Structure 1
Amino acid sequence: MQKPVQWGILGASKFALQHMGPAIHAADGARLAGLATSDPTKAAPFQQFCPDISVFHSYDALLADPGIEAVYIPLPNHLHVEWSLKALDAGKHVLCEKPMTMRADEFETLIAKRDQTGLLAAEAYMIVHHPQWQLTRNMIADGAIGKLVHVSGAFSYDNRADTANIRNRAETGGGGLRDIGVYVIGGARYATGQEPISVSGAIRWENDVDVFTEIRAQFPDFTYSAYVSTRMHPHQEMVFHGEGGLIRLTAPFNARVFGEARVELHRPGLEVQVTRFPGDDHYKLQVEAFCRSVRDRADYPCPLEFVRGTQEVIDQVFDTAVSL
C-alpha cells in the first residue's frame, strides 16, 4: 500500500477550513499533515477535524519541512504566483486556488518551473473532476444533442456587504471575473474541447473592482454568452443548446453547496432525462486525482496549459470590454 501524500496548507482561509481542508483529510491517498498560520485561533478549527495536524507559524517554515510533499495555496489572488514558485523551489507539489495568475503570460514562468522541477503544479479547478461535467463532455462528443449551436452560462452571488472581503479589493486581485468567470469560461472550453475565435464583453465597476461582467464569444462551431456578478441574487447554470437537444447543468460550480448536481438532457417531444449526483464531492475527487498523479504519474486532468487558456479569455475580456 502506497504512503499517502503528505499535504500542507499555506494560510488558514475560510475556504480552506470549510472545503479543501476537509477534502484533503477525507481523500484516499492523502494526509493533511500541516497548516501554516501565525494565529493559533485560526488553527484550532482545523485541529477539531484533524487533531494530529502540525501547525507552522510561517509559510516558509512549512515549506522547509521535508515531510510535507504537496501544498494547497488558498492565499489572495495576487500572491498565487509568488508562493507557487516558492513551493516548487522548495520541492513541493502545488495545488493553487484559482485564478492561479493575474495575467496569462505569468503561466510561462510557472510552466517552466514545473518542467524544471518535475513536480506537479495545478490550479484548483475542481469542476473538471466532477462526474456531471465529465458526463456532459461525453454527451456532447457523442452527439446526444446533435450539432451544438449555442452555450450559455451564469454565476452570481452578492457580497456587497462584506466590504473587507479580498474579492471586493482591487489590490488583492478581487472582482467577479477572476473569481467566478473562470467557471463559466473554462466550463465551456472543457465540455466542448473548443477555443474561442473572438471575445468581447461589458463590465460594471465599483471601486476599481468588476462586479458585473457580460461575456460574448464566437467559437469555431457555436456562439457563447455568459455573465458573472458579485452583486446579484445567487444563481448558477450552464446550458449547451444543440439542434437536436439541450443539456442543462444545475449547481455546476458549487455542487452540494448550491444544490444537487444534475445533468438534464432535453430531447424532442419534451422528453427530459435527468442524471443526479447527490453525493459526489469535487474537492475530494480533485485531491484524489492530484495524489494519483503524484504517486502513479497519471496524467492530471487539468494541466496548467488548459488553465492558461481560460486566463487568456479573461485577459481579452478585461482588455476589450466596454464599461457599463
Structure 2
Amino acid sequence: MTVVRWGILGAANFAKEHMARAIHAAEGGKLAALATSSAEKAEGFKTFAPDLKVHSSYDALLEDPDIDAVYIPLPNHLHVEWTLRAVAAGKAVLCEKPIAMNANEIDRLIEARDDAGVLVAEAYMIVHHPQWRKARRLLHEGKIGTLVDTQVRFSFNNPDPENIRNQANTGGGGLPDIGVYAFGSVRYVTGEEPEEILGTDVAWENGVDTRAHVTARFPSFHYTGMVSTRMSPFQEVLFHGDEGVIRLTAPFNAGVYSQAEVHLQAPDGTVTTWRFPNVNQYVLQVEAFNRSVSDKVVYPCPLEFSKGTQRMIDMVYEAAKA
C-alpha cells in the first residue's frame, strides 16, 4: 500500500482532538502538514506529530506537491468552496459533515470528483464502525422480521452563542450538526430513502434550529426522531420489527458517550448483546480512505450517500417552513 500523505486545512479543536490523531494513527497514511496562521495552535498538533510541516495559509498547503489528501474541518459554510479548491489542486478530500448546505451543492462536488478522478467524501465516520454493519446485517437477515418503525434520539447541550454550531452565518444548527447522523444511520441500515416528511416540530434560536422532532414515511417503515443541541446528552437508535427489536446504545459517539453495544431482543423477551470495546471509528474511517486512495478499493460512504442524507435534511427544513 502506498502511504497517503495528509494535510489538514485549519487547526480546529475537533481536528486536534480526534481526526488529526486518527490520521496519525491510521495504517496506510501519514499526517504530514497543517495549514494555520497560529503557531500556538500548531503546537497542539506537534505534541503527537512533531515533524508536522506547518503552512501559513490554506492555499500554500494545497500547492504542496508532497500532500496527497486533505482533511477539511472548517465551518460548514466553507466546506463546498474549499473541497472544490482542493480537488482542483489534485488532492483527495475528506470533508467534515455536513459536506454541503443543501443537496444540490453536492452535485457540484460529484461532478468535480468525477472530472478530476480523485476521491471526495464526507467524514461520516459511523458507517465504518462494526456496530452499524452488525445492525444492518441483523436487519437484512430477518432477525426482527418485518421492520415497522425506527426511533432515533440524539442530543447534547451546547448553549454557547459563540460556538459556530450556534451561528446561522456559518451554517450552524442541530440538523446539520447531528441530524445528519439520525437520518443517515437509518438510511444506511435499511437502504431506503424517505418518501414524505409527515410532521415536524422545530425550535429555533438566533436563526438556527436547536431541537427537531421529525416523523417520516419510508417505503416500508415509519421514522420517528428527535435531535437537539439544548438537551441533556443522550443517544439511542431502535429498529422495531414484528418479531424483534435491534437497539444501539451508543450509536454515534461510540467510546465517548458509552461503549458501543447492539442488542437484539427476541419475541420472548430474551436479549442477545454484541459489544464493541476499544473501536476507534475515526481511525477506521481514515484507513478505509487510505485504501481507497492507494489501492482503489471502493469507499463505503460515497458522495451519493451523503447527498441522500442532505436531501432528507432539506425536506425537513421545507416541511418546517410550510
Q: Is the TM-score greater than 0.5?
A: yes
Q: Within 2, Cα distance between the matches of 1:172 and 1:75?
A: 10
Correspondence 1:147 to 2:146? yes
Q: Within 2, Cα distance between the matches of 1:85 and 1:39?
A: 24
Letter of the structure 2 residue corresponding to residue 104 of structure 1: A
Question: 1:38-70 CA distances to partner (integer Å, 9 max, x unpaired)?
Answer: 000000010001111111100000000000000
The equivalent position to 1:182 in structure 2, one of 180, 183, 194, is: 180
Deviation at 1:320, TM superposition (A): 1.1
Equivalences for residues 73-222 of structure 1 within 5 A? 73-160=72-159, 162-199=160-197, 200-222=199-221
Letter of the structure 1 residue corresponding to residue 302 of structure 2: P
Runs of 4+ more than 2 Å apart: none
Letter of the structure 1 residue corresponding to residue 318 of structure 2: D
5+ long unaligned stretches in structure 2: none
Question: 1:175-216 CA distances to partner (integer Å, 9 max, x unpaired)?
Answer: 100000000100000000111111142211011110001111
Letter of the structure 1 residue corresponding to residue 157 of structure 2: D
Question: 1:243-274 CA distances to partner (integer Å, 9 max, x unpaired)?
Answer: 11000001100010101000000112210111
Q: Within 2, Cα distance between the matches of 1:201 and 1:309?
A: 19
Q: Within 2, Cα distance between the matches of 1:103 and 1:305?
A: 13
Equivalent residue for 1:256?
255
Deviation at 1:235, TM superposition (A): 0.5
Question: 1:7-59 CA distances to partner (integer Å, 9 max, x unpaired)?
Answer: 00000001001110000000000100000000000000100011111111000
Q: Within 1, Cα distance between the matches of 2:145 and 2:321?
A: 34
Q: Secondary structure at the match of 2:37?
A: coil
Q: Within 1, Cα distance between the matches of 2:2 and 2:221?
A: 46
Letter of the structure 1 residue corresponding to residue 201 of structure 2: A
Equivalent residue for 1:72?
71
Q: Within 1, Cα distance between the matches of 2:200 and 2:121?
A: 28
Task: Normalising by structure 2, report the TM-score.
Answer: 0.99
Correspondence 1:29 to 2:38? no
Contact (CA 8 Å) 1:202, 1:322: kept in 2 or not? Answer: no
Letter of the structure 1 residue corresponding to residue 191 of structure 2: G
Question: 1:128-172 CA distances to partner (integer Å, 9 max, x unpaired)?
Answer: 000000000011000010000000101101111x22100010000
Task: Normalising by structure 1, report the TM-score.
Answer: 0.98
Letter of the structure 1 residue corresponding to residue 211 of structure 2: F
Deviation at 1:3, TM superposition (A): 3.0
Q: Within 2, Cα distance between the matches of 1:23 and 1:15?
A: 11
Equivalent residue for 1:7?
6
Q: Secondary structure at the match of 2:47?
A: helix
Q: Within 2, Cα distance between the matches of 1:208 and 1:261?
A: 34
Deviation at 1:322, TM superposition (A): 5.5
Contact (CA 8 Å) 1:136, 1:191: kept in 2 or not? Answer: yes
Q: Within 2, Cα distance between the matches of 1:321 and 1:202?
A: 7
Equivalent residue for 2:235?
236
**Residue correspondences, number:** 321
Letter of the structure 2 residue corresponding to residue 238 of structure 1: V
Contact (CA 8 Å) 1:203, 1:322: kept in 2 or not? Answer: no
Q: Within 2, Cα distance between the matches of 1:173 and 1:51?
A: 33
Identity of aligned residues (%): 57
Q: Within 2, Cα distance between the matches of 1:195 and 1:56?
A: 42
